[in-house]
Amino acid sequence: MLTRIDHIGIACFDLDETVEFYRATYGFEVLHTEANEEQGLREAMLRINGASDGGASYVQLLESTRDDSVIGKWLAKNGEGVHHIAFGTEDVDGDAEAVRGKGVRVLYDEPRRGSMGSRITFLHPKDCHGVLTELVTAAPQATPGH
Ligand code: V0V
Ligand code: CO
């Protein structure tokens, strides 16, 4: 069951500059940064709030580290902006299968590694009314309050 908005993924040209904008404008601080070699990106997670189910909501800022990455190609075509939304679930495997059974294309056969040790998969934007949609199960130790 999808229980919350885990994050909104925003593609940017310069991660450090964009992090500074979010800090200076809203006071959001970086909880975590990492490079994801498989996805060809560097990212910063800004934690916006905790949630009663033990999860949290983030803004995920994404910078491309190679021209042929998903984010690199998207930035070249669209410029900066909202790239995807991610719904949180305790069972990404089960929810991905359920969605697949409804005829929506799930992009990965098995969930892959996401931010902070999470497990993630994506639904094709053309099957989701133009929204690239991610499903994410947080790593147990990444859950705030645990
Ligand atoms: C492409 N399209 C989009 C879109 N990207 N529509 C809405 N939102 C997006 N982000 C549309 C595009 O306008 C085209 O429509 C059509 O889909 C095909 O696009 P394309 O430019 O040819 O791109 P593709 O097909 O090469 O790639 C699109 C897909 C790709 C969705 C397959 O973005 C993908 O594999 N995404 C999953 C991985 C990912 O997003 N990684 C980065 C975040 P028209 O022009 O034909 O009408 S990684 C992450 O979030 C992590 C690690 C985390 O959260 O922990
Ligand atoms: Co994401």
Tens of pLDDT, residue by residue over 4-14, are 999 999 999 99
Classify residue 66 by burial, with Cβ atoms within 10 Å: 0-12, 13-18, 19+: exposed
pTM over 0.85: yes
Q: What is the pLDDT of residue 146?
A: 45
Ligand having the closest approach to the CA of 76? 1
Is 103 part of a structural domain of the chain?
A: yes
Is 120 part of a structural domain of the chain?
A: yes
pLDDT beyond 60 at 26: yes
Tell me how many domains the chain contains: 1
Q: What is the pLDDT of residue 55?
A: 75
Residue 69, domain extent: 2-137
Which residue is closest in CA terms to ligand 1's atom 34? Answer: 70
Active site residues: 7, 43, 60, 84, 134
Is 15 part of a structural domain of the chain?
A: yes
Is 65 part of a structural domain of the chain?
A: yes
Helix (H) or strand (E) holding 20, with range, is helix 15-26
Model pLDDT for residues 28-50, shown as the tens digit of each residue? 999 999 999 999 999 999 999 88
> Which residues 6+ apart lie within 8 Å of 51 measured at CB?
4, 57
Is 143 part of a structural domain of the chain?
A: no
Is 13 part of a structural domain of the chain?
A: yes
Is 144 part of a structural domain of the chain?
A: no
Model pLDDT for residues 85-128, shown as the tens digit of each residue? 999 999 999 999 999 999 999 999 999 999 999 999 999 999 99
Ligand having the closest approach to the CA of 42? 1
What CATH number did the domain enclosing 20 receive?
Answer: 3.10.180.10
Is 121 part of a structural domain of the chain?
A: yes
